[in-house]
């Protein structure tokens, strides 16, 4: 189609002749370009190619109302939605009644450009027109209900932008993103591999295209080396076929890839397993009750692979796409499926679920809740799965959400660090993949004297109170896996600079402690130091110690079915030792929990042994045993029901600590 477009443009230039050189508005040339653009849309629906020709037509003749209207609407259907207003206003100023929904289309373009006041102005103008012409039933009529919703989105947008969150939204670059759609990222635990979906032309194994003249979906993979994502490669023809394939989840161990495959119009979920040599097996349908004769489009699985959430268009839901849960039974089968209910689902589409590492926090995207437009991302916390009880979903706000589609969020082992798909201006293509992180607004140190040879990587950490967002003077340390301590310098209250000289990529632990606050233990992957200066900024929020505060120990691991602490747990537990030494009156309860596989007696015993193992580690490191209460709850305090017949089951093998005195 690109070659075809070049030929058409060349043909148009020949027709234009001297009139183009003289920059005169040639109505005849505008008409010809308009007809060529219309023909492309009629025959192929290739909106990108048609838009380029329609823009030429509109600019040749600003009085050609058809060309300018179509140029504006085509912009709204592509990435540059806010630029459509330029062409639509040309039409509106000449003939506001040229198209019945003209004011609505202008409002849309303003909304996508975050100009909410102007959007509200034109939506209200259209609303008045539609009310006075209630009997008009043309195809260009937009119902008042839809306009009212748009007005709500604009008011929400003003509210969210006024309370913008201190986050950095970073496009991860052209090594992964293309000029086409790139979305649905999944990453492994240490963020060294990303698997994602793309409709790019380069590297796509399918020569066929959809009716919009873009390739079918293929799955791509990128490796991160020395802190930099490498050029994405097609995952291969074992996984990708001549139809649509989209990765939708990666198991916590990184060895099972969940895939959406649409071969005959009703998409299902498949799985592929990574082999020891790194290759993937041929995808097979996910067994159990997940797939139906209707479309299942996305999925997420918890850390222990005992509970999953997925999106489906099956009948009996609350809207077009609903989110469902499914629990693995004692035989290891996915059996009873339950709709999450009106606490999560709406009459519109709800999709893209992701269950966080704590097993309780669910992120998802919705078109039906209080948002700015399109899909907005929300989060909620599980209270009781059997009763379908969740906390009220919270919109993640601006700048994460925009008036366009924001979806397919996935978390990492590092708190407040996510990847997701977003359609926003300034990207590489249509939907791009972005990184959400703490805003890099820490004060910069004075420039170090220039010197020859390897330059240290400067890691600058700002520590602030989670409630007040004010800097706090904490103790911050960085060390390597071999316990090598990295030197640091204070740049002011709550701001610390570490200099890393390693010439190979390494993982570091950043420990932050402060009397009266819950400790934080971050994993940071840094690339290799080079002759070029490198600076990485991070902002960390510390929570105050409070009675009743419950915190999951993210990095405490046991051998399967045992109470043996793995070595990877020691960093997290050492942080807890430090916190309790800093807060001498603090007392905690260590709660051990198991799943319901096995007898009640076994589970109670195992959970007690695990809680005791954590307590023993703390006491061995100088904490008085009287300050620690260890309880094995077994199945007594499930987050979700243990009644297997009702489809419920406790989140598997979790350890938490609760502040009971301070």
CB burial string 145-162: b at 16+ within 10 A, e below: eebebbbebbebbbebee
- Least confident span in 198-202, 308-312, 387-391, 652-656: 652-656
- Least confident span in 106-115, 142-151, 367-376, 588-597: 588-597
In the prediction, which pLDDT does 604 show?
86
Question: Where does the pLDDT of residue 453 fall: very low under 50, low under 70, confident under 90, or very high at 90 and above?
Answer: low
Contact 542, 522 (CB under 8 A): no
pLDDT of 488 higher than 90:
no
Tell me what the mean pLDDT of segment 417-439 comes to. Answer: 90
Q: Which residue has the higher pLDDT, 439 or 202?
A: 202
Tell me what the mean pLDDT of segment 386-413 comes to. Answer: 94
pLDDT of 25 higher than 80:
no
Place of tokens 């959430």: 309
Residue whose C-alpha is closest to residue 371's, from 56, 121, 152: 152
Question: Where does the pLDDT of residue 4 fall: very low under 50, low under 70, confident under 90, or very high at 90 and above?
Answer: low
Three-state secondary structure along 31-53?
Answer: HHHHHHHHHHHHHCCCHHHHHHH
- Mean pLDDT is highest, among 243-252, 390-399, 481-490, for 390-399
Cis peptide before 399 (omega within 30 of 0): yes
Q: What share of the chain is helix, strand, coil (3-state, %, to 5)?
A: 25, 30, 45
Q: Which residue has the higher pLDDT, 182 or 578?
A: 182
Contact 488, 476 (CB under 8 A): yes
Please tell me the distance from the alpha carbon of residue 116 to that of residue 104, in angstroms, as a whole number: 13
Cis peptide before 595 (omega within 30 of 0): no
The number of beta carbons lying within 10 Å of the beta carbon of residue 293 is 8
Question: Where does the pLDDT of residue 650 fall: very low under 50, low under 70, confident under 90, or very high at 90 and above?
Answer: very low
Please tell me the distance from the alpha carbon of residue 324 to that of residue 307, in angstroms, as a whole number: 11
pTM tops 0.85? no
**pLDDT tens digits along 240-249:** 988 788 988 9
Using DSSP's 3-state secondary structure scheme, residue 204 falls into coil
Tokens, residue 355: 């269950």
- Domains identified in the chain and CATH numbers: 2-162 (1.25.40.10), 167-438 (2.120.10.30), 457-542 (2.60.40.10), 550-661 (3.30.1330.60)
In the prediction, which pLDDT does 600 show?
77
Query: What is the pLDDT of the chain when averaged over all its residues?
Result: 85
Q: Which residues are paired to 32 by β-bridges?
A: none
pLDDT of 46 higher than 90:
no
- List the strands of the sheet with 485-486, edge to edge: 485-486, 475-480, 506-513, 520-526
Tell me what the mean pLDDT of segment 322-345 comes to. Answer: 93
Tell me what the mean pLDDT of segment 40-62 comes to. Answer: 82
CA angle 218, 309, 416 (to 5 degrees): 80
Provide the sign of the torsion angle of the four alpha carbons 234, 240, 242, 248, taken in this order: negative
Q: How far is CA 23 from CA 16, 54, 60, 67, 463, in A?
A: 10, 17, 8, 18, 58
Q: Which helix (H) or strand (E) holds 578?
A: helix 570-582
In the prediction, which pLDDT does 594 show?
75
In the prediction, which pLDDT does 143 show?
95
Q: How far is CA 517 from CA 343, 468, 470, in A?
A: 33, 13, 14
In the prediction, which pLDDT does 447 show?
33
Please tell me the distance from the alpha carbon of residue 477 to that of residue 33, in angstroms, as a whole number: 64
pLDDT of 547 higher than 60:
yes
Question: Where does the pLDDT of residue 138 fall: very low under 50, low under 70, confident under 90, or very high at 90 and above?
Answer: very high
pLDDT of 529 higher than 80:
no
Q: Which helix (H) or strand (E) holds 170?
A: strand 167-171
Question: Where does the pLDDT of residue 509 fall: very low under 50, low under 70, confident under 90, or very high at 90 and above?
Answer: confident
How many residues belong to the chain? Answer: 662
DSSP 627: G
């Amino acid at each position: 189609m690109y070659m075809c477009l070049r030929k058409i443009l060349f043909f148009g230039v020949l027709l234009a002749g001297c009139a183009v050189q003289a920059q005169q508005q040639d109505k005849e040339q505008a008409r010809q370009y308009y007809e060529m653009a219309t023909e492309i849309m009629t025959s192929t629906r290739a909106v990108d190619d048609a838009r380029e020709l329609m823009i030429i037509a509109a600019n040749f003749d600003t009085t050609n109302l058809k060309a300018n209207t179509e140029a504006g609407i085509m912009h709204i259907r592509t990435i540059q939605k806010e630029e459509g207003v330029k062409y639509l206003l040309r039409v509106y100023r000449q003939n506001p009644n040229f198209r019945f929904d003209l004011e609505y289309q202008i409002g849309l373009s303003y909304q996508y450009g975050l100009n909410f006041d102007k959007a509200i102005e034109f939506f209200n103008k259209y609303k008045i027109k539609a009310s006075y012409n209630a009997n008009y039933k043309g195809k260009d009529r937009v119902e008042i209900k839809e306009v009212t919703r748009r007005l709500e989105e604009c008011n929400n947008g003003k509210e969210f932008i006024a309370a913008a969150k201190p986050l950095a939204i970073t496009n991860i670059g052209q090594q992964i993103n293309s000029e086409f759609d790139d979305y649905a990222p999944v990453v492994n635990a240490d963020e060294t591999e990303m698997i994602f979906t793309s409709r790019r032309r380069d590297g796509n194994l399918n020569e066929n295209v959809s009716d919009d003249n873009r390739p079918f979906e293929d799955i791509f993979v990128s490796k991160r080396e020395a802190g930099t994502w490498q050029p994405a490669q097609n995952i291969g023809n074992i996984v990708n076929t001549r139809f649509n394939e989209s990765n939708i989840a990666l198991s916590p161990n990184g060895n099972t890839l969940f895939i959406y495959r649409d071969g005959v119009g009703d998409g299902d979920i498949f799985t592929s397993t990574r082999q020891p040599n790194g290759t993937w097996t041929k995808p097979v349908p996910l067994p159990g009750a997940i797939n139906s004769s209707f479309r299942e489009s996305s999925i997420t699985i918890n850390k222990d692979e005992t509970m999953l959430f997925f999106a489906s268009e099956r009948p009996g839901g609350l809207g077009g796409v609903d989110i469902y849960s499914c629990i693995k039974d004692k035989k290891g089968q996915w059996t009873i499926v339950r709709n999450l209910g009106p606490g999560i689902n709406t009459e519109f589409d709800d999709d893209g679920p992701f269950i966080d590492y704590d097993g309780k926090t669910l992120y998802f995207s919705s078109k039906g809740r209080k948002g700015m437009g399109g899909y907005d991302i929300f989060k909620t916390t599980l209270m009781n799965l059997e009763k379908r009880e969740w906390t009220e979903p919270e919109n993640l706000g601006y700048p994460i959400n925009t008036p366009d589609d924001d979806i397919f969020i996935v978390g990492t082992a590092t708190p407040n660090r996510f990847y997701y798909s977003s359609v926003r201006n300034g990207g590489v293509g249509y939907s791009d993949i972005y990184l959400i992180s703490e805003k890099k607004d820490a004060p910069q140190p004075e420039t170090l004297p220039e010197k020859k040879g390897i330059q240290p990587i400067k890691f600058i950490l700002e520590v602030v109170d989670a409630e007040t967002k004010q800097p706090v003077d904490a103790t911050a340390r960085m060390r390597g896996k071999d316990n090598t301590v990295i030197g640091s310098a204070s740049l002011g209250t709550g701001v610390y600079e570490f200099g890393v000289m390693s010439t190979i990529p390494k993982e570091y632990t950043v420990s932050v402690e402060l009397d009266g606050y819950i400790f934080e233990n971050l994993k940071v992957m840094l690339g290799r130091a080079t002759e070029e200066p490198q600076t990485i900024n991070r902002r960390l929020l510390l929570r105050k110690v409070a009675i009743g505060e419950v915190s999951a120990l993210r990095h405490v691991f046991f051998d399967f079915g045992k109470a043996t602490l793995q070595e990877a747990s020691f960093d997290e537990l050492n942080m807890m030792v430090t916190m309790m030494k800093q807060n001498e009156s603090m007392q905690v309860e260590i709660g051990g929990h198991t799943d319901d596989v096995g007898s009640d007696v076994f589970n109670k015993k195992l959970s007690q042994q695990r809680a005791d193992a954590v307590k023993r580690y703390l006491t061995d490191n100088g904490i008085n045993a009287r300050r620690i209460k260890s309880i094995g709850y077994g199945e007594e305090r499930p987050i979700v029901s243990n009644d297997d017949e009702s489809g419920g089951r406790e989140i598997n093998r979790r350890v938490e600590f609760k502040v009971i005195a301070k």
